[in-house]
Amino acid sequence: MATTKDANADVWPPFESVLSVPDEDIEFELRGHDDILWSEFVLNPRRLRGSDFLMRWSQGEWSEKRFVQAINETGHYTAFPYGPSGVAPEGDVRAFELYFERLEEAGLGKLKRPDLLIFRKEDEAQVQQIIGELGGAQELPFIPEDHHSMVRILSLAVIAVECENSLWIAKQMPDYGKPLSPQKRLGGLPGLRKNAVMPTIIIKQEDRLPLWEWQTERKVPIHIWHAFYDLAFGIALDEAEKLITEGKILPTAQVFQAPGGATQSKDIYKFYYHYAYALGSATEEPTLVPAHIVDKNGHILPYVKFEGGTLHISSEAIRILDKASSTKRW
What DSSP letter does each residue of 121-172 carry, written as one string? GGGHHHHHHHHHHTT-GGGGGGS-TTSHHHHHHHHHEEEEEEEEE-SS-GGG
CA distance linking residue 167 with residue 152, whole number of Å? 36
pTM: predicted TM-score of the whole model, two decimal places? 0.84
Angle at CA of residue 228, ends 226 and 229, nearest 5° = 155
**Helix (H) / strand (E) containing 66:** helix 51-72
Residue 226 lies in a domain: yes
Residue 61 lies in a domain: yes
Residue 307 lies in a domain: yes
Angle at CA of residue 111, ends 105 and 114, nearest 5° = 140
**Helix (H) / strand (E) containing 270:** strand 263-272
| Alpha carbon 266 to chain centroid, angstroms | 16
Residue 245 lies in a domain: yes
Beta bridge pairs of residue 22: 256
Predicted local confidence at residue 62, as pLDDT: 82
Residue 101's nearest CA partner among 218, 178, 15 is 15
Predicted local confidence at residue 302, as pLDDT: 76
Predicted local confidence at residue 13, as pLDDT: 66
| Alpha carbon 33 to chain centroid, angstroms | 34
Residue 209 lies in a domain: yes
Predicted local confidence at residue 1, as pLDDT: 64
**101: CB partners within 8 A, 6+ apart:** 15
**Helix (H) / strand (E) containing 272:** strand 263-272
Are 202 and 270 a contacting pair, CB within 8 Å? Answer: yes
Residue 6 lies in a domain: no
Residue 300 lies in a domain: yes
The domain total for the chain is 1
Residue 103 lies in a domain: yes
Domain limits for position 153: 14-327
Residue 228's nearest CA partner among 192, 199, 196 is 199
Predicted local confidence at residue 119, as pLDDT: 97
CA distance linking residue 242 with residue 239, whole number of Å? 5
Residue 180's nearest CA partner among 45, 62, 115, 275 is 275
**Helix (H) / strand (E) containing 265:** strand 263-272
CA distance linking residue 18 with residue 246, whole number of Å? 29
Predicted local confidence at residue 59, as pLDDT: 77
Are 115 and 225 a contacting pair, CB within 8 Å? Answer: no
**Helix (H) / strand (E) containing 236:** strand 231-236
Per residue of the chain (330 residues), give pLDDT as tens.
Answer: 654 444 444 566 666 676 666 655 544 443 444 444 333 333 444 444 455 666 777 777 788 889 999 999 999 999 999 988 778 777 777 777 788 888 888 777 677 899 999 999 999 999 999 999 999 998 998 999 999 999 999 999 999 999 988 888 999 999 999 999 999 999 999 999 988 999 999 999 989 999 999 999 999 999 999 999 899 999 999 999 999 999 999 999 887 776 666 777 889 999 999 999 999 999 888 788 887 777 666 777 777 777 888 899 999 999 999 999 998 755
Residue 200: strand, helix, or coil: strand
Spell out a b/e string for 78-107, using b for 16 or more CB atoms within 10 Å of the CB, else e.
Answer: bbbbbbbbbbbeeeebeebbbbbeebeeee
